[in-house]
């Protein structure tokens, strides 16, 4: 891959476009009152997704960019759960009682820091407050280093069907450099225990671009993961932003691969997984042909939300816990990021919404185009504009970066139909940014 293109378009500031507009564009003008109003307006028959953020880990991985804190005792987790249950009740008071739930996702942090008995109680409360469909899926993120057989049994009893297992790398040198020592045996044991208890759909998370990583170590990690045959793999590029995440300052920047090496690592992992029978999904996911993501992609129904790629077509996400993002009909909302601030709001009997974004018609149009680009690597801009009541010519003319991307051989444009060349999919975020009205920095 050409070094000049990598240096030109691989801007670390580019959003991942899980949502649009992105979180940096949220403002405090959307707060708890707006969130309450938007919740009350939810149609009683439209399905929703629930996301619960558990902000605790037993050890801190230096690469992590999510809001988490270290705890080795049970008291902070128990105190947090009491507040989380209050938040669930507060939200349930606003929404229609018949609101159907299509899926639940527990993220973090490490949600399995919750004790088994408390997790069962939490699921029971959710089922009391919302109308779970029989087909509702429950997914949870897992750190296999502290995962127990009792928790696996609990997840099965609670109706969980999918688990996302953090791996990142199986290379001990890389693991030491990011403070995450995790053996292949620990990971395999967690996978086996989950499957034994009915949690049969397994996702793995891998990273490239970590300190001391090479193409060889990335391929070795991918092959080690393949031996456990997960249904999906997410292969993310490490984002080094020490000015934002202080824990990342402990990572040796001199050991980080450059843009060329990162691209080579990503391509090598992709080749390894595709050769093993996985379908490449969008920018960074891989799935077996019978997985929901692969089927959704084949049907042209792949979606993107704050958790990444999804086969779920429901348009509403309700977030619980500190930093959790919700997507309601009128716009986005986000809870207080700091756990202490979040707890203070909920204990005062009010929602913890700290900021958000009210969607305008043009935002919805741009979001639709960006989503199709991120999901399908192509977008029929005139057709999408027509469905939203906008003139495609004005939009295309204002997307200055598009012409540059075409000149550099990254996209083909035919009467407004944009297609990213397969060998250039690594640049898809730069293509999406051409339609980001808020990405107003100088063009590359």
pLDDT digits (tens, 9 = 90+) for 258-279: 999 999 999 999 999 999 999 9
Mean pLDDT of all residues in 405-434: 95
Give me 387's structure tokens. Answer: 């469905």
Give the predicted TM-score (pTM) of the model. 0.94
pLDDT confidence of residue 66: 86
DSSP-derived 3-state class of residue 206: strand
User: What is the tens place of the pLDDT at every residue in 343-386?
Assistant: 999 999 999 999 999 999 999 999 999 999 999 999 999 999 99
Q: Please name the helix (run of DSSP H) or strand (run of DSSP E) that holds residue 340, with its range, or none.
A: helix 339-347
User: What is the number of other CB atoms lying within 10 angstroms of the CB of residue 422?
Assistant: 8
Comma-separated ranges of CATH 1.10.10.920 domains in the chain: 361-433
Inter-residue contact 56 to 110 (CB < 8 Å): yes
Closest C-alpha among 68, 156, 159 to residue 110: 68
* 438 DSSP 8-state letter: T
**Confidence label for 7 from pLDDT (cuts 50, 70 and 90):** confident
Cα torsion 189, 190, 193, 198: sign: negative
What average pLDDT does this structure show over 75-83? Answer: 96
Q: What's the per-residue H, E or C state across 291-313?
A: CHHHHHHHCCCCEEECCEEECCC
Lookup: tokens for 80:
């947090």
Structure confidence at residue 444 as a pLDDT band (50, 70, 90): very low
Matching residue, tokens 């670390």: 12
Distance CA 285, CA 281 (A): 5
Distance CA 355, CA 23 (A): 9
> Which residue spans of the chain are classified as CATH 3.20.20.70?
24-358
Mean of all residue pLDDT scores within the chain:
94
Q: Nearest Cα to 83, choosing from 324, 251, 304, 275?
A: 324
State which CATH number among 1.10.10.920, 3.40.50.880, 2.60.40.420, 1.10.10.10 fits the domain covering 361-433: 1.10.10.920
Higher pLDDT, 219 or 71: 219
Sign of CA dihedral 215, 221, 226, 231: negative
- Cα dist from 276 to 225, 230, 236, 357, whole Å: 11, 12, 19, 42
Number of H helices, E strands in the chain: 16, 19
pLDDT of residue 10: 83
Rounded CA-CA distance 391/374 in Å is 22
pLDDT of residue 443: 39
Percent of the chain's residues with pLDDT above 90:
87
**pLDDT of residue 4 exceeding 90:** no
Element (H, E) at 55: none
Q: For domain 24-358, which architecture applies?
A: Alpha-Beta Barrel (3.20)
Angle 292-15-331 from CA coordinates, rounded to 5°:
75
pLDDT at 442: 42
Q: Give 320's strand partners.
A: 52
Of the chain, the end-to-end C-alpha distance in Å amounts to: 18
Nearest to 314 by CA among 99, 162, 157, 94: 99
Query: What is the arithmetic mean of pLDDT over 81-94?
Result: 97
**What pLDDT, on the 0 to 100 scale, is given for residue 313?**
81
**Which DSSP string do the residues of 256-270 spell out, in sequence order?**
S--HHHHHHHHHHHH
Share of the chain above pLDDT 70, in %: 99
The pLDDT-based confidence of 307 (bands split at 50, 70, 90) is confident
What is the C-alpha to C-alpha distance for residues 292 and 200, in angstroms, rounded to an integer? 13
Reported as a single tens digit per residue, the pLDDT across 94-129 is 998 889 999 999 999 999 999 999 999 999 999 999
Q: How far apart are CA 379 and CA 404, in angstroms?
A: 17
> Could you tell me whether strands 331-335 and 325-327 are parallel, antiparallel, or unpaired per DSSP bridges?
antiparallel
2 has pLDDT over 80: no
The DSSP result for 181-200, as a single string, is: ---HHHHHHHHHHHHHTT--
Confidence bin at 138 (pLDDT 50/70/90) = very high
């Amino acid at each position: 891959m050409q070094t000049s293109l990598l240096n030109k378009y691989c801007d670390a500031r580019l959003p991942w476009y899980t949502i649009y507009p992105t979180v940096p564009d949220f403002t405090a003008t959307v707060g708890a009152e707006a969130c309450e109003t938007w919740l009350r307006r939810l149609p009683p028959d439209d399905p929703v997704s629930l996301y619960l953020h558990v902000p605790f880990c037993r050890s801190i991985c230096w690469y992590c960019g999510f809001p988490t804190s270290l705890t080795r005792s049970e008291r902070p987790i128990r105190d947090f759960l009491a507040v989380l249950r209050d938040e669930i009740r507060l939200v349930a008071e606003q929404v229609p009682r018949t609101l159907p739930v299509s899926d639940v996702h527990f993220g973090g942090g490490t949600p399995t820091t919750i004790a088994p008995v408390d997790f069962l109680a939490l699921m029971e409360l959710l089922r009391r407050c919302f109308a779970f469909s029989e087909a509702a899926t429950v997914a949870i993120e897992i750190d296999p280093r502290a995962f127990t057989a009792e928790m696996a049994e609990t997840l099965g009893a609670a109706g969980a069907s999918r688990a996302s297992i953090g791996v990142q790398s199986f290379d001990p040198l890389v693991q030491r450099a990011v403070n995450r020592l995790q053996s292949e045996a620990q990971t395999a044991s967690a996978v086996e225990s989950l499957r034994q208890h009915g949690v049969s759909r397994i996702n793995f998370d891998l990273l490239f671009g970590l300190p001391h990583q090479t193409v060889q170590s990335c391929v070795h990690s991918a092959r080690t993961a393949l031996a456990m045959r997960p249904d999906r793999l997410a292969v993310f590029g490490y984002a080094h932003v020490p000015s934002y995440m202080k824990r990342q300052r402990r990572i040796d920047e001199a050991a980080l691969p450059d843009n060329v090496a990162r691209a080579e690592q990503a391509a090598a992992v992709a080749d390894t997984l595709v050769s093993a029978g996985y379908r490449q999904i969008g920018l960074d996911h891989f799935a077996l042909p019978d997985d929901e993501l692969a089927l959704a992609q084949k049907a042209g129904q792949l979606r993107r939300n704050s958790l990444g790629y999804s086969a779920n077509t429901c348009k509403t996400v309700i977030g619980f816990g500190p930093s959790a993002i919700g997507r309601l009909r009128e716009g986005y909302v986000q809870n207080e990021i700091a756990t202490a601030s979040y707890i203070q709001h909920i204990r005062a009997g009010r929602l913890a919404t700290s900021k958000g974004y009210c969607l305008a018609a043009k935002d919805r149009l741009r979001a639709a185009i960006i989503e199709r680009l991120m999901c399908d690597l192509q977008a029929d801009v005139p057709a999408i504009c027509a469905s939203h009541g906008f003139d495609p010519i004005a939009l295309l003319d204002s997307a200055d970066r598009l012409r540059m991307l075409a000149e550099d051989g990254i996209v083909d444009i035919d009467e407004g139909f944009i297609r990213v060349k397969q060998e250039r999919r690594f640049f898809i975020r730069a293509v999406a940014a051409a339609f980001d009205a808020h990405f107003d920095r100088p063009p590359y």
